[in-house]
Chains A and B, each alone.
Chain A
Amino acid sequence: MDQAVRSAVVWCPDWPIVAFGRPPDQPVAVVHANRVVASSAGARHHGVARGLRRREAQGRCPHLEVLERDLRLEARAFESVAASIDEITPRVAIVRPGMILFPTRGPSRYFGGDQAMAQRCVALVGRVLDGLGSPRVGVADGGFAAALAARGAAPGGVRVVEPEASAAFLAPFSIHTLDRPDLTGVLARLGLHTLGRFAELARADVLGRFGAEGELAHRLASGLDERPPAVADPPPEMEVVVELDPPLERVDQAAFVGKTLADQLLGRLEDRGATCTRIVVSAQTEHGEDLTRCWRHEGSLTAAAVADRVRWQLDGWLNGSSAARPSAGLTRLSVRPDDIVAGTGRQLGFWGGRAEAAERVARVVARVQGLLGPDAVQVPERRGGRSPHEQVVAVRADTVDLDREHIDAAARPGSWPGALPGPAPARLHRPRLPVELADPADQSIGVDGRSLLSNRPACLRVDGGPWIGIVHWAGPWPLDERWWDPDRHRRRARLQVVDAQGVARLVVVEDGRWWVEATYD
């Protein structure tokens, strides 16, 4: 019979807010993908809860400060918290920015019991946070129970679940605390609303019906760890190392290194059909300082997740608080898996395939973003509109899933009334080019209030170039957009023109001035 490792969890509530350095009483919400992911106590007072849309949150609390989630900032700020626990135990693992897990056997004995050790954690972390938040500590058998105990503790307080009482402690909790919506949805429909009821089922039955994931959830519900603790250390050849010459001092250089290390590490693990749940990132500086930090993940780590954690950690070391910052550049960086488990992940096509191509593209996109900045890489996204500028726009590549077949599968919006039919111009001028149009008598052409031309256009001159005769033309087609909104109201008329050289252009008139908006290149 396996037993859970007695663990402590230090939890800093509302970490996404604390990382921004906002005091808890100020109404602040952090959003990601237009949903609130964290809100301060001041915002919760006004009813701003997780999962709300940005607009809803602003509706409930008009003076709410809305911040975009910044995982790098969160990780960087958390490094000093993790470093403060180093005084108690070297076996600190960061679960995510805001939560630390460590085994308590040694430290509790040294500091005189779980309660005393936990109090000490609260004091140490509280000193680092400096009034911006109050940490909570939970101690129990198994990390999952310890995390729930920390949630149940009072702000700045400690909750200790007695040894071998984890199963009883977990029993009344809702099944949804497992945070596996696909599985818990089914369990709730089966009438298993609490962890205790789920834990009563025989493990073999759960495994037979729900597979590996079900078994894992059952272990957690019974107060055990996800897996029995590994009996052997991972083989040393699994470590991936890179010597950095010249020494690394800026974190943007680190991003690329992190990615390479992550790919190597995952490659080695894949060869063994394994994945890992904990990675140890270590670095050495020119002055011989050794920095080490362990990151933990509840599922198994993907290459992107490993790369993120390596980058965050380097960011934390290089840009963190001045006390913890290394005194020189990093000369050696290594990542090693700390806890290897058999992989149950997805299988790629035997020869690679489309998914592999998309993954490769995603990797290269990340690399180019590292070179040019995140805004420099975009992908097309279909929108509605009347002009070729609006119908398909380019959006930042990291805001969408690159392997998204659905962009073309999505029903194409029918062409908007007022959009020009026929082929779209292949060249959109940005900024648009000024152009002069003249009639046969060399008078410039105007458009009256009823969208009629003053005369037929005979020649044009683009951007101060030579005059060229017009062979064909049609229009003007008026476009009166957003007339209800004084700020964004636009009134234009469009003209298609083919000049004597055979070049076709889309010409618009707006506020009495003519522009070449696009060329049918």
Chain B
Amino acid sequence: MGVGVRPESLTDAAQRVAPTTLAVERRLEVSPALGHVLPDGLQRGSVVAVRGPGAGSLALAVAAGPVASGSWLATVGCEELGLVAAEQAGVALHRMVKVDQPPRSSWGAVLAALVDAFDLILVSSTHRARARDSQRLRSRARERGSVVVDAGGVWPEVPDLVLEITQQRWSGLGDGHGVLTQRRVQVEVTGRRGTRPRLVPLWLPGPTGGPEAIEPDAHAGADIDQLVSADPGEPPVALPQAG
């Protein structure tokens, strides 16, 4: 080929002029609805655990932002995940791939392969991951900058961030009439480094059908009971504090 430039020098040049990676780019941006839950977005390379009733919806809401801005989402072992709910949560379905639950022996290999191409991996499983697999996966995710979202208690170690729904309250349904319309939840956000857990209220889903933020205003961090007392209806239901 009569090309005068050596390929190595081209690679060098590309590296020199490529945009530098800013700290912001080490994060995945979440949708505005989760602005109060994850004010700094998702740290690339981290493991986020989502727990409590409504964990499925919350995991989808977390994934929606990055997927909308071009990231790909893989779900592993989430056989029961509602795809219509995913779409309503704002996940662009054309950038979503669903992988069946791998057998325990190849779970690590499958996840390691997925980390290479997917920014977000949503895992759920009937069994816990082996510690060996999870350690290897974590270092690989750090290197590649992927985020693992654990929606089913798969992760055997302490995750970087835990989002737990501690209270939920559906509205729209009466005694023999109405239809489910919206749900108000309280998310407890716990970081890894001994920070005090934050309580954030959230519509999941809200009046428009997708997740929506609730402005914390004067009630910042307050209990859901006070927050919802404004609207008439049944008293909110406190959840039993079971795992």
Contacts and interface: CB of A to CB of B under 8 A. Distances in A.
Nearest to B83: A392
Interface stretch (A151-159, A190-198, A377-385, A443-451): A377-385
Contact of B87 (A274, A367, A392, A496): A392
A428 B237 contact: no
Interface string B156-181: 00000000000111101111111111
A424 B116 contact: no
Interface residues of B, number: 66
Interface in A413-445: 420-430
B84 A391 contact: yes
B7 A271 contact: yes
Interface string A359-401: 0110111011001100111111010000010011110010000
A520 interface: yes
Nearest to B119: A357
Interface stretch (B41-49, B50-58, B130-138, B192-200): B50-58
A371 B100 CA distance: 11
Contacts of B94: 379, 404-408
Contact of A474 (B10, B98, B177): B177
B86 interface: yes
B93 interface: yes
Contacts, number: 188
B85 A423 contact: yes
A424 B85 contact: yes
Contacts of A407: 93-94
- Majority SS at the chain A contact face: mixed
Nearest to B60: A426
A351 interface: yes
A429 B82 CA distance: 9
Given A376-B102, A428-B82, A423 B87 contact: no
- Majority SS at the chain B contact face: mixed
A382 B7 contact: no
**Most A CB atoms within 10 A — which of B92, B116, B173?**
B173
B179 A496 contact: yes
B81 interface: yes
Interface in A117-165: none
Contact of A501 (B176, B177, B209, B240): B240
A392 B85 CA distance: 10
A354 B67 CA distance: 12
**Most B CB atoms within 10 A — which of A272, A424, A518?**
A424
Interface string A492-521: 000010101111100000000000001011
In the A-B complex, the 9 residue pairs with the smallest Cβ-Cβ separation, listed nearest first, are: A426-B56, A424-B84, A271-B7, A521-B56, A392-B83, A364-B117, A502-B237, A472-B173, A426-B85
Interface of B: 1, 3, 7, 10, 14, 18-19, 53-57, 60, 70, 72, 79-89, 92-94, 96-100, 102, 106, 109-110, 113-114, 116-118, 167-170, 172-183, 205, 209, 234, 236-237, 239-240
Given A273-B1, A273-B3, A502-B237, 19 more contacts: A350-B14, A360-B117, A361-B118, A364-B117, A376-B99, A377-B99, A379-B97, A380-B83, A380-B86, A382-B93, A391-B83, A405-B94, A426-B81, A426-B85, A427-B82, A498-B180, A502-B169, A521-B54, A521-B55
Interface of A: 271-274, 342, 350-351, 354, 357-358, 360-361, 363-365, 367-368, 371-372, 375-380, 382, 388, 391-394, 397, 402, 404-408, 420-430, 456, 471-474, 496, 498, 500-504, 518, 520-521
